[in-house]
Amino acid sequence: MNFFEQELKKIMAGSAILKEQKYVGRSCYGAIGEDLRARIEFVTLGTCDHYAGLKTTIFNRKEGVVDSVVLRFTDIWGKPKVNNPNFRDGVNPHIWTNSGKSEWYVFQPVSKDYQKLAGSVENYLSVFQDMDMTLARQENAMQMRT
């Protein structure tokens, strides 16, 4: 399991919504409902090899992309203070890849940070989980009428 897969597992392994999780490269895939799937992936936001957020894409396995959102680490964690004199005002959290090795740059998230990030992803996923359940109920109601 590569660094990105390990980090995604720290974030998504406890998900109550994302089922049948698969970790591939910089992405985590899973089922939200009968036809809805999600892909959560680390993304760069303008700087090569600086992964500063998670992009979550919801797609219908029969019809394609439904929606997506980018969750920036700075929007979730702010600009955390670190014990490094070069970053007196804190650091914008990101993973960087240098010489083929990927790691968190200066700031290292702890359990509560991963939980906060997971909560943001779960909040987004829950919108579509409800949609999939509603669609299933509507389909069942239509079948019962015929």
pLDDT tens track for 82-114: 999 999 999 999 999 999 999 999 999 999 999
User: Could you list the residue range(s) of the whole structural domain that residue 72 is in?
Assistant: 3-145
16 burial level (CB within 10 Å; 0-12, 13-18, 19+): exposed
pLDDT tens track for 11-67: 999 999 999 999 999 999 999 988 999 999 999 999 999 999 999 999 998 899 999
> What is the pTM (predicted TM-score) of this model?
0.84
Structural domain count of the chain: 1
**Of 23, 19, 47, 22, the residue nearest 33 (C-alpha):** 19
> What would the DSSP string read from start to end of 56-111?
EEEEETTTEEEEEEEEEHHHHH-S---S-GGGTT-----EEEETTEEEE-S----H
What pLDDT does residue 61 have? Answer: 86
